[in-house]
Every structure is written in structure tokens, then in C-alpha cells.
Amino acid sequence: MLSREELFNRARELLPAIRDRAPATEALRRIPDETIADLRNAGLLRIANPQRYGGYGLEPDVLFDIAMELASACSSTGWCFCVVLIHNWMIGQWPEQLQEEYFATDPDTLASSSFGPRGRLESAPGGFRLSGRWDFSSGCDAASWALLGAMSDEGPFWVMVPRADYAIVDTWFVSGLQGSGSKDIQVDDAFVPRHRVIKLPKLHERIGDGWGLHGRSSYRLPIFSMLSQAIPTPLVGMAQGAVNEFVASLSGKKGPGRTADSVALQLRLAESSAEVDTARILIRHNVAEMLERAQRGDYELSELDMIRYRRDGAFAVRLCVQATGRLFEASGGGGIYTSKAIQRFFRDINAASHHTSLYWDFIAEQYGRGLLGQAMAMTSASARPAGPDK
């Protein structure tokens, strides 16, 4: 068993090597084997596992905070760490047979994903047949399973597929987040047993009996509760990395011009660092609120609750993108050299912010409609005449 403090200490010890490795990670277009080995040897890859499968009995808030630390050194490493390991928390809510199968050989087992229902699922004796192609499967090179979305005659499903049943298609030639290795997954008529398939839940619904199996408070919550925070979390770390690099670039520089004495640069740094701190506080607050509700038994989150958490995550990302862009603008011509980390953070955070779950206009519209609809319903209810009618 490792404590929260020990895990953080181990993660911070890795930061210099991960930071030095960031350019090579980008050039490789996936997380290097050395980085995966470092994370495994530090015990960090099992941080989100249920305790019976090698976990430490900690909640996903620890995963998120460590992901921010890693992303401040290397965007792609922090991104993959967070979005891949949240799957191991999710697995704790699947059928027990799948959990036993998934963790059977190694508590450091990893799964990449592509949640969009782009595949086709057809009924077959004892299960289903699956075919399709999925994009944006971050960290797939290090994974031995894939969590994929598929459509059947009964609607959308999630499907777990072992590495032997799919191929990785290298399509990842992009402008940012290059080291995440978010390649395509191809499945051609693979058989999928029933215990590896679950009906896609609604935003505010729980699945399975993760609480009964593992006694972990977060398993009382909808599966989208923690998943909704896993995507924006590493972007906070990326923005913090940009702040750190900007400070380092001015350290020791005095006098007129682009130096630490420049009031204009001081103002930009203050505003950007405030935005990053605000984004971090917002995400931490929402995760803590959900976990506290689960612990005291108030875990029936409404659809509006869930949309609010998504709204806050997307808004935190807007703050982080603004903060990073402001500092990159102020970095001058020198900031555009590939040897400078700030240009990589700028490209990475803009690429990551294009994730479909972070599209601000859509999420803001959902929340505004939901809040106004709720207000209208309350107004209509209060306007009803008193009487016995129901």
C-alpha cells in the first residue's frame, strides 16, 4: 500500500526525466517505453485500480492531481496518464467477470479508448460480432485492451476488446499533442462475449455494482462523473508547464526589454497564473464535491448536476488556453524555436482543447437550456392553484 504523499513524491521524482524526454516523446509520436517503465516501477500505473486488483484504496482525485504534475513536464505523458488510467477506475463498475479477465495477468494493465459509437455490433451465439474503425485512441501503443463505442439494433454500447482482436493504424500526424500516439483502432469481425459489453448509460446513471464489489465511495457515482473531469485535468498541467517555462526563461534577466524587469511581462504572468490557479481550483472543487456527496450517501446526481460539472471542466480549459496563449505571445521570436518548451505547450494545449467533450458552445448551450428549463418548471409548479388535484 502506498499513501497519497508517497505517490506524489514518486511522481515528482520522475518530472526531470519526463521533462527532458518531452522532445523525444513528440518525435516518437507516442509515450516512450522508458516513460511507461518509469511510471510502472514507481507504482503509478495502478493508482486508479480497485484495491483487490492492486490499487491503493485511493479515489480518482489523486490520479487527477498527479496527472497535472506530469502534464506540467510533458503534455502527452500527462494526457495519456490521465485519460488511460481513468479507464481502470471505470472497469471497477463493469461485470465482475470482465474485471477478473482484464486484471488477470497484470495489475498494470492499460486500456486505450474511443468512445464514439463508430463500430457495428451484431448479435451472435453467446455474444456479439464487432467491426469498425475508431480514431483518437490515446496511448494505444502501451495498452493491451481497447474500450470502444459501437451501435447495435438496441442502441449504443461500450465494448472491451483485447489487443489480439484489433489492429493499430498509424494515422497520428498532427500539429499538437503528438506524443500521445492517438492512433486509429481497426476491428474486423471480432467475437465479443456478453460480459465485455455494456449498454451506454445516460449522463447521470450508474452502471454495475462497483460499490458492492469494492466499497469505494466513487463507485456510488455515475460513471461519467469522474470521466468528465479526466479530460480537462491534464490541460491544467499543460498550462502550468507554460507558466513554469515562462518564469524560467526570464529568470536572472535584468534591464530593459524582454526581461524580468518588464512590467508588461509581469502583468501577463500574473493574469495567466491566476487563470491556471482558478482552473485547478474549479476542477478540484467539483471532484471533491462529488466524492463528498458519495461519502455521505447523497450520490443521486441529477442530469443538471452532471452538465454543470462538464461546463466547469470546459470553462477551466478555456482559462488554461487563454493563459498559455498570452504567455506564448509574450515569449517573442525566441519562443517559436522547437527547442523551446513553451511553443510545445502552446501547440499541445490547443490540440487537446479540441477534444469533443470540451466544445464550449455545445456544453454551455446544454447547461443554459437545462437551467432555464428547471427554472421554468419551478415557476410553473409555483403558479398552480392550491387544491387536491395532483
Nearest alpha-carbon partner for 81 in 160, 196, 179, 197? 179
3-state secondary structure at position 320: helix
| Stretch (H or E) spanning 168 | strand 167-169
- Per-residue pLDDT of 182-192, as tens digits, reads 999 999 999 99
CA distance 117 to 120: 8
- For the cut 60, the answer to whether the pLDDT of residue 144 exceeds it is yes
pLDDT of 379 reads 58
Q: End-to-end distance of the chain based on CA atoms, in angstroms?
A: 55
pLDDT of 176 reads 98
Residues in the chain: 390
pLDDT of 384 reads 47
- For the cut 90, the answer to whether the pLDDT of residue 319 exceeds it is yes
pLDDT of 378 reads 55
Cα 269 to its chain centre, rounded Å, is: 26
- For the cut 50, the answer to whether the pLDDT of residue 375 exceeds it is yes
* Averaged pLDDT of the chain: 94
Q: DSSP state, 218?
A: G
**381 — pLDDT class (breaks 50, 70, 90):** low
Return the C-alpha cell found at 30: 507516442
pTM of model > 0.85: yes
Amino acid at 87: H
Mean pLDDT of 163-169: 98
Angle in degrees, CA 50, 52, 55, rounded to 5:
50
